[in-house]
Structure 1
């Protein structure tokens, strides 16, 4: 079987593990062997039947470990970017996970290390950036462009032609009007309706969405 390791040991990692098990039931050759997490307090614990193996140094402690790919399973975009970039700096590998209960257009494009969970729809000519996480029951319309390291919470709805920059944290049940652009590092609150362009690093809530403040430090400055 093809071994994989989950990068992160929190709630999203447990959801990703459920997705891996669904892939196994669908006949895919994939075997999770544990979690890697920066929190030393978790090392040695067992979560949903898998051990927390340690931090990224675990890969250097025995031959062959560096050949096992990671799945990026950290929910917060900034934390995910930090851990993924450190793993890449060490020369580690990543793979993607697409739940078998996803409708994925043959004309959609997926970057490296993407995670798409159950019930999502990814339509014609949508483009998903590297290390982006799309949680359960999201709709990604035609020609949508998602940057790297985005997180879409469950039930997010992106109308056709919407464009999200890198590291956008898009809340549960939030939605966009067709063709809207959201700048990198923006945070969109749950149930917000985005009807006009959103500047980078803005925190937006409400219907229609309105900018409440700006996230600091900016995405580009971290």
Structure 2
């Protein structure tokens, strides 16, 4: 498997791949100073990648950059689930998504493309998580929640059941969301309140 991005997030994904019996053939990273990571070579920048049969993952934590990479290159994307994650058999997970150690994804949830379900995050039943979302460590999505494209759900945050979160929003770390959040909104606190809006793409 090839990985796009050779920083900390890539280390976690590489270890998960290895724990599942796979291997990383090389990284692509636009920083010319990066030559290797974990003893695995950086093969060049993203433009140097040549599509082939081997699957890839985007190992970049920034949601907007992950989306940009998918627009710049053509690749066959895999998915990676840590062996110590708990994922219901009824969960649907699309290409490019990674699920970290200790994460729990409960029945009839749908996870989109290039999503990060990070360490010890909890996603309960019947949730809809759109493309390029990042559910950060120890955050909690209760049942029936909808998360729009590109949204960051910050570490340790909690979203109550049947809440709708818009696209490209930011839920601040430790926030408690008790009502719907509009597109591009940045919310913080308990209860979470809007403090500003992210720039649109």
TM bin, normalised by shorter chain, reads over 0.9
Alpha-carbon distance in 1 for matches of 2:160, 2:5: 33
Tell me whether 1:20 sits opposite 2:20 in the alignment: no
**Aligned equivalents of 2:178, 2:42: Cα separation in 1:** 42
1:135-174 → structure 2 map (5 Å cutoff): 135-174=118-157
Displacement, 1:120? 0.7
CA contact (8 A) 1:69 1:93 kept: yes
Give the distance between the partners of 1:122 and 1:208, measured in 2 at CA.
25
In the TM superposition, 1:93-172 aligns within 5 A as 93-172=76-155
Asked if the contact 1:166–1:184 (Cα under 8 Å) also holds between the matched residues in 2, the reply is: yes
Q: How does 1:1-222 map to 2 (within 5 A)?
A: 4-24=1-21, 30-42=22-34, 45-60=35-50, 66-88=52-74, 92-216=75-199, 218=200, 222=201
> For 1:66-124, what per-residue CA distance to the aligned partner results, in whole angstroms no more than 9, with x for missing partners?
22211121101001100122123xxx211111111111111111111111011111100
Q: Aligned partners of 1:34 and 1:135: how far apart in 2?
A: 23
Runs of 5+ consecutive residues of structure 1 not aligned to the other structure: 25-29
Contact map agreement 2:28 2:49 (CA 8 A) in 1? no
Q: Distance in 1 between matches of 2:112 and 2:46?
A: 24
Deviation string, structure 1 residues 112-148 (Cα, Å, up to 9, x no partner): 1111011111100000011111111011100010000
Contact (CA 8 Å) 2:14, 2:23: kept in 1 or not?
no
Size of the aligned set, in residue pairs, is: 201
Contact 1:153 1:170 in 2 (8 A): yes
SS state at 1:101 partner:
coil
Q: Which secondary structure does the structure 2 equivalent of 1:213 belong to?
A: strand
Give distance in 2, aligned partners of 1:175 and 1:137: 13
Structure 1 stretches of at least 4 aligned residues deviating more than 3 Å after TM superposition: none
Q: Contact conserved, 1:113 with 1:132, CA < 8 A, in 2?
A: yes
Distance in 2 between residues matched to 1:76 and 1:59, nearest whole Å: 20
Structure 2 counterpart SS, 1:53:
coil
Provide structure 2 residue ranges, at least 5 long, that are not aligned to the other structure: none
> Residues 88 and 106 of structure 2 are in contact (CA less than 8 Å); yes or no, is this contact kept in structure 1?
yes
Q: Secondary structure at the match of 2:113?
A: coil
Structure 1 position 21, deviation (Å): 2.0
TM-score by length of 1: 0.87
